[in-house]
Structure 1
Amino acid sequence: MELRHLRYFAAVADTCHFGQAAKRLHVAQPALSYAIRQLEAELDVALFTRTTRQVALTPAGEYFRDEVERILASVDNAVHGVRRLADGRSGLIRLGLTGTAAFSHLPQIARTMQQELPGVALQIQTDMLTPEQCNGLRSGTMELGILRPPAIGEDIELRTIAHEPLVLAVSAEHRLASEPVVSLADLRSEPFVMYGNRESAVTSVLLRSCRQAGFTPHREHEAPGTAVLLALVTAGLGVGVVPASVRSLPLDGLVIRDLPDAGEVELALAWRRSNDHPLVEAVGRLIESLYAADAASAGH
């Protein structure tokens, strides 16, 4: 039994007319009649009653019609799904984000994907530092990351999508909370809350900027990610220097101030170099376009 036999049967069952069915299928009527006889012979059952005036389904034919409709619908859905998958419009993407990227861009990413790629399921892992994301990309537990360069280890491809200045985070009771702009020199004697991972891109930029300002920051407390870092700062345990996207996270008791001489960090889209799945490329292009649009609007 071939798939074409089922499609031929469905057309005849729908029209109850071999001539009309043949015209719909763009086949010769004798070829269609022969194919139906082949199908009946294989099933060893009559699917139609035929007279000179009419063609009608037998009870077996009526049952078979319902089953064939279900089978053909499943086949069509499978074909459609395979094509969407090959075009990068269907499937699952596991996306890792740095803490601040989640605060500022995740709602926009999720909303745009729902609009542009509704067949793609998005699984999010947030507040991941760069080393953790690179490990996830290499191990295959995630397909895309939004992280701070440089990448840690090999086989990771990066595409810069944004540059973010570093800003100062202090508790509302801190002496610098009322200052609109602060310099690094003002932080010389302050205890710092810093990321616990020494390979953090934010920490690398901060240490370099502090050296240029003539001091080494005093690491009073360490945090595994941005959310914990900001909580410790809010509690008054030290000051924090973080990417400016934390401004999108309203937190009672936390004050964000400009820190012009602290430098800036890159934000990059990351994926495993050997992962050439079209879905990864499709979602990556969408994310990159969102950040490019934000940068263009900020420049006006």
Structure 2
Amino acid sequence: MDLHHLEAFLAVAEELHFGRAAERLHIAQPPLSRTIKQLERDLGAQLFDRTTRSVRLTTAGEALVRPAQDVLEGMRTARRAVRSAGRGETGRVRIGFAGPSSHVLVGKLGRVVREQHPGIELMLQSTTYNYEALRQLQDGELDLAIARWRIEPQGLDHRVIAVERYVLAVPAGHRLAGREEVSMAECRDEAFVALPADPGSSVRDAFIDTASQAGFAPNIVQTAPDTWTAVALVAAGVGLTFTLDTALANVVQTGIELVAISECERPTFQQIAWRQDDRSPALQAVLRASEEALPTPDLPSEPGA
């Protein structure tokens, strides 16, 4: 029994006339009759009572109608699904990101994808720090990553979606509060709250490098799992934190103030990245949507511009 047999059976069952069923199937009547007989032999049951004047379904034939319809509808559904996936209308796209600035960007992307491609599901991994996100992307564990980096990653295409600058978050009332700018060297004796080293945060790496260039190893008194926690600890007076202006723009800032860092005039860039060899139609659809949701901003023409 195959789909050809079921299509023939349903045509006869619905027309109750072999001639009309043959016309509907665009075949001659004798091949149709042979197909029905083959199906009956395969099932070991007579499906139709035939006379010279009429065709009727037997009890066995009536029992086959609904299963046959379900099988053919299932096949049509499968074909539609394959065609839709091939056109990028359905599918899944896995996105890795971390931090409050990325959460806002993902929200914008998710809204546009939902409006333009409701059949595409975004699978979000919200605690994937930059270097881990890039590794997972290169290994095929992610399809997209929102990240920033200092060394060009291999095998990836990417596009800038945000221009950012490093700043210090200090408690309200701190000696540095109210300053427009501070040198990192002035923070030699300060206590700091930092993101963990293990997940591979580019912000932490930039913090350590900036302090090192200023001639000291920072006194990290508390590690925070994310920027929200770090800001809460700063507001409580635990220490300062080195972070990004875009991250703090999306965090409640009660009890803290932001101060620019003179050594960090040069901006950093948040980017959306994907594998160069990934031709998934769903991914391509999401990338097109990202150009509307997360357009590339005007980039500084010179470092520090």
Same fold flag (TM > 0.5)? yes
Structure 2: tracts of 5 or more residues without a match: 299-305
Q: Which of 293, 296, 299 does residue 290 from structure 1 map onto?
A: 293
Aligned pair in 2 of structure 1 residues 5, 87: CA closer, same or farther (>3 Å)? same
Q: Which has the higher helix share?
A: 1
SS of structure 2 residue aligned to 1:163: strand
SS of structure 1 residue aligned to 2:108: helix
Tell me if structure 1 keeps the 8 A contact 2:184–2:261: no
2:21 & 2:252 partners in 1: Cα distance? 65
1:42-121 to structure 2, matched below 5 A, reads 42-121=42-121
Aligned pair in 2 of structure 1 residues 171, 27: CA closer, same or farther (>3 Å)? farther
1:154-233 to structure 2, matched below 5 A, reads 154-174=154-174, 179=178, 182-185=180-183, 188-189=186-187, 191-197=191-197, 200-202=201-203, 215=214, 219-221=218-220, 222-233=223-234
What's the counterpart of residue 274 of structure 2? Answer: 271
Aligned pair in 2 of structure 1 residues 101, 244: CA closer, same or farther (>3 Å)? closer
Aligned pair in 2 of structure 1 residues 269, 166: CA closer, same or farther (>3 Å)? same
- 1:133 Cα deviation from its structure 2 partner: 0.9
- 1:169 Cα deviation from its structure 2 partner: 2.7
Cα distance per residue 1:26-59 (max 9 Å; x no partner): 3344443332233223333221223344322111
Name the aligned partner's letter for residue 130 of structure 1. N
Name the aligned partner's letter for residue 3 of structure 1. L
- 1:76 Cα deviation from its structure 2 partner: 1.8
Tell me if structure 1 keeps the 8 A contact 2:184–2:210: no
Name the aligned partner's letter for residue 180 of structure 2. V
1:3-42 to structure 2, matched below 5 A, reads 3-42=3-42
- 1:146 Cα deviation from its structure 2 partner: 0.6
Tell me if structure 2 keeps the 8 A contact 1:146–1:267: yes
- Aligned residue pairs: how many? 291
Tell me if structure 1 keeps the 8 A contact 2:166–2:242: no
- 1:218 Cα deviation from its structure 2 partner: 6.3
1:184 & 1:29 partners in 2: Cα distance? 91
**Identity over aligned pairs, percent:** 32
What's the counterpart of residue 238 of structure 1? Answer: 240
SS of structure 2 residue aligned to 1:142: coil
- 1:95 Cα deviation from its structure 2 partner: 1.3
Point out the more displaced range, 20-29 or 53-62.
20-29
Aligned pair in 2 of structure 1 residues 184, 22: CA closer, same or farther (>3 Å)? farther
Tell me if structure 2 keeps the 8 A contact 1:98–1:130: yes
Cα distance per residue 1:275-299 (max 9 Å; x no partner): 443333333332343101x849xxx
SS of structure 2 residue aligned to 1:149: coil
Report whether the alignment pairs 1:249 with 2:245: no
1:110 & 1:161 partners in 2: Cα distance? 15
- 1:3 Cα deviation from its structure 2 partner: 1.4
SS of structure 2 residue aligned to 1:89: coil
TM-score (norm 1): 0.78
- 1:256 Cα deviation from its structure 2 partner: 4.7
Tell me if structure 2 keeps the 8 A contact 1:157–1:270: yes
Aligned pair in 2 of structure 1 residues 135, 56: CA closer, same or farther (>3 Å)? same
2:173 & 2:44 partners in 1: Cα distance? 88
Name the aligned partner's letter for residue 69 of structure 1. Q
Cα distance per residue 1:112-139 (max 9 Å; x no partner): 3333333333322224322111222234
1:16 & 1:165 partners in 2: Cα distance? 76
Name the aligned partner's letter for residue 135 of structure 1. R
Please report the RMSD computed on the Cα atoms of aligned residues, expressed in angstroms: 3.5
1:217 & 1:152 partners in 2: Cα distance? 28
- 1:255 Cα deviation from its structure 2 partner: 4.3
Cα distance per residue 1:138-171 (max 9 Å; x no partner): 3433222110124576434433333234444333
What's the counterpart of residue 280 of structure 1? Answer: 283
TM-score (norm 2): 0.77
Report whether the alignment pairs 1:146 with 2:142: no
Name the aligned partner's letter for residue 183 of structure 1. E
Tell me if structure 2 keeps the 8 A contact 1:188–1:217: no
